[in-house]
């Protein structure tokens, strides 16, 4: 079943990149919006939204290229992660009130997905965004936010802090609960997460799915984020025998320096002025 599901998702990703409306809404339109917003410091909302959408386009197109054997696609994947990370960091300049005081104005699902991508890809400039997400209080997470809560607690482990494991984490809590268990047991829990993610790739009205975005549809970034976190703590990660772990997105990896992009550089400069 998993192989069939992955084949279906590959087809869906390919069709997504071929749709003219998606190229317009995720690529040409956001590029134009970023260009115009960069000239007006009051348009930070448009800049953030457009940067995130453009990042999604690069992520989807880059991952499809890698899946089809073109390893240069990794540069677009990393570029997409950088655009989304920059767009979300811009939102950290705005603060919202919670019962525990002020917190960064971050959308928890989108930031969770960006965080695991950053960890999986070893993003060299992600630390500020990761810290802001890790600092979000409980009341910023809804009843259906088990996955974003898991990512927040994964960041706690990465920072050598004890994670808060509650029933709200659902299946994700099993991984944290068994963080130091034997390899076989942890491998089974990670395998269960792979199966779970295949059921969470298509949203319904009012019910967003965790992995409905092109950048995480086929890329098991949360599993790779677990691996990266354990590696940072000098812990081994057992092999996960799941079809999703045997595509080019997992068996290959980007090499060389992170790609440069003139529009991203201008956007980062504008964001620095707003957030400092």
Specify the residue for token string 């115009």: 36
The whole-number pLDDT of residue 39 equals 82
The whole-number pLDDT of residue 97 equals 67
Q: Where are the alpha helices (DSSP H) in 92-170?
A: 108-121, 127-134, 146-158
Domain limits of the chain? 2-275
Low-confidence ranges of the chain (pLDDT < 50): 1
The whole-number pLDDT of residue 83 equals 98
Q: Note the pTM of the prediction, 2 decimals.
A: 0.95
Of 266, 192, 183, 264, the closest CA to residue 222 belongs to 192
What is the Cα–Cα distance from 93 to 91, expressed in whole angstroms? 5
* Residue 102: its H or E element: strand 101-104
The whole-number pLDDT of residue 86 equals 97
């Amino acid at each position: 079943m998993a192989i069939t599901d992955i084949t279906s998702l590959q087809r869906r990703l390919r069709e997504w990149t071929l749709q003219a409306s998606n190229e317009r809404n995720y690529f040409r339109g956001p590029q134009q919006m970023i260009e115009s917003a960069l000239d007006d410091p009051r348009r930070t909302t448009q800049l953030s939204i457009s940067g995130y959408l453009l990042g999604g386009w690069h992520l989807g197109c880059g991952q499809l290229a890698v899946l089809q054997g073109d390893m240069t696609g990794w540069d677009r994947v990393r570029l997409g992660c950088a655009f989304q990370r920059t767009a979300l960091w811009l939102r950290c300049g705005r603060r919202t009130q919670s019962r525990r005081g002020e917190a960064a104005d971050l959308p928890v699902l989108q930031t969770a997905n960006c965080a695991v991508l950053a960890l999986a890809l070893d993003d060299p400039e992600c630390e500020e965004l990761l810290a802001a997400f890790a600092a979000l209080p409980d009341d910023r997470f809804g009843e259906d936010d088990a996955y974003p809560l898991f990512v927040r607690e994964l960041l706690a482990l990465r920072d050598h802090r004890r994670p808060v494991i509650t029933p709200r984490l659902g299946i994700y809590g099993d991984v944290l609960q068994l963080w130091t268990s034997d390899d076989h047991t942890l491998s089974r829990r990670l395998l269960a997460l792979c199966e779970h993610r295949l059921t969470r790739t298509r949203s319904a009205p009012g019910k967003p799915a965790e992995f409905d975005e092109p950048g995480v549809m086929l890329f098991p970034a949360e599993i790779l984020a677990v691996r990266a976190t354990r590696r940072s703590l000098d812990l081994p990660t057992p092999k996960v025998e799941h079809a999703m772990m045997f595509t080019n997105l997992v068996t290959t990896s980007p090499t060389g320096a992170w790609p440069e992009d003139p529009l991203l550089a201008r956007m980062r400069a504008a964001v620095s002025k707003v957030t400092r």
